[in-house]
Amino acid sequence: MQYIKCEYQDNIAVITIDRQEALNALNSQVLQQLHDAFAAINTGEIRCVILTGAGSKAFVAGADITEMSTMSVEEAEAYALKGHKVFCTIENFPVPVIAAVNGFALGGGCELSLACDLRLAGDNAVFGQPEVSLGITAGFGGTQRLPRIIGITKAKEILYTAGRLKAAEALACGLVNAVYPPEELMEQAVKTAKKIAANAPIAVRAAKKAINDGLAADMDTALAIETKLFSACFNTQDQINAMRAFAEKRPPEPFVNK
């Protein structure tokens, strides 16, 4: 694919958006290729995905303003729906997705990071939703995911003022999980991915599904979702082996994803 690079490190996939001449901005072609990249991942083998942007200047600087500038209302709606489809695919991807954010993550780039499970940032990262300064509102989920992650009050401030957050402030308000020197970012992302991959894959996927599905439901329904996913783990070889090893006070065998 022209704008997407996919690499595999054991059971970890690394997806890199590489459109550096436009600071990795998301046009329709990049969105489609990003969707195709995730669709091609074998989740039977891959246990975690790292999503990043090529170069040191930007994770994703935003959606492609040049492309959007001539859109009709109908074309803008179709464009937003395309973004929603891709970002929801990432948000609901069976295995965890880590955003490794280097440089600008503005507009659609910030929204893309919000669709990931974890966000690790270089200390050069800048997050923001500048859409209102361009006469539009966030259209790839920013008005919905940002308040859910950092709270309504701070999200409204960012969305109404076209404000930006540097890495330290993003960490302070809970937008990112950790901040590292840029040259250490991918190393730390891989380290975090390996920690995830070392656990029982079926259990990790169940935890992700319980969180995502439960947040969209009332508490009683959410607890019922958790109960079903919890109990289903007891039908796996990994659960049997791990608990037996614990009872016998010995290290567990490698998880086999069964």
Domain membership of residue 231 (yes or no) is yes
Residues 53 and 154 in one domain: yes
Residues 139 and 76 in one domain: yes
Residues 212 and 166 in one domain: no
Claim: this prediction has a pTM higher than 0.75: yes
Q: What are φ and ψ of residue 229, in 5° steps?
A: -70, -40
Q: What is the CATH number of the domain that holds 227?
A: 1.10.12.10
Q: pLDDT tens across 231-240, in order?
A: 999 999 999 9
Q: pLDDT tens across 173-188, in order?
A: 999 999 999 999 999 9
pLDDT value of position 169: 97
Domain membership of residue 161 (yes or no) is yes
Residues 31 and 95 in one domain: yes
d(CA 112, CA 146): 11
Domain membership of residue 77 (yes or no) is yes
Residues 66 and 157 in one domain: yes
Do 48 and 11 form a contact (C-beta atoms < 8 A)?
yes
Residues 96 and 138 in one domain: yes
Q: What is the mean pLDDT of residues 126-134?
A: 97
Residues 217 and 189 in one domain: no
Domain membership of residue 234 (yes or no) is yes
Number of helices followed by number of strands (H, E) in the chain:
11, 10
Q: What is the CATH number of the domain that holds 56?
A: 3.90.226.10
**pLDDT score of 1 more than 90:** no
Residues 94 and 214 in one domain: no
Do 39 and 76 form a contact (C-beta atoms < 8 A)?
no
Domain membership of residue 214 (yes or no) is yes
Which of 175, 197, 219 is a domain's end point? Answer: 197
Residues 13 and 123 in one domain: yes
Q: What are φ and ψ of residue 71, in 5° steps?
A: -75, 145
Question: 3-state secondary structure string, 7-39?
Answer: EEECCEEEEEECCHHHCCCECHHHHHHHHHHHH
- Residues of the domain holding 217: 201-247
Domain membership of residue 190 (yes or no) is yes
Residues 122 and 8 in one domain: yes
Structural domains in the chain (count): 2
> What mean pLDDT value characterizes the chain?
96
Residues 240 and 186 in one domain: no
Q: What is the pLDDT confidence band of residue 219, given thresholds at 50, 70 and 90? A: very high
Query: Angle 28-39/73-91 helices, nearest 10 degrees?
Result: 30
Which of 158, 182, 197 is a domain's end point? Answer: 197
Domain membership of residue 254 (yes or no) is no
pLDDT value of position 247: 94
Q: What is the mean pLDDT of residues 80-98?
A: 97
- Looking at this protein, which amino acid is placed at residue 52? T
Strand partners, 38: none
pLDDT value of position 189: 98
Domain membership of residue 256 (yes or no) is no
Residues 186 and 207 in one domain: no
**pLDDT score of 252 more than 90:** no
pLDDT value of position 88: 97
**pLDDT score of 114 more than 90:** yes
Q: Coil, strand or helix: which one is 121?
A: strand
pLDDT value of position 253: 87
**pLDDT score of 170 more than 90:** yes
Which of 197, 215, 235 is a domain's end point? Answer: 197
Residues with catalytic roles: 111, 131
**pLDDT score of 192 more than 90:** yes
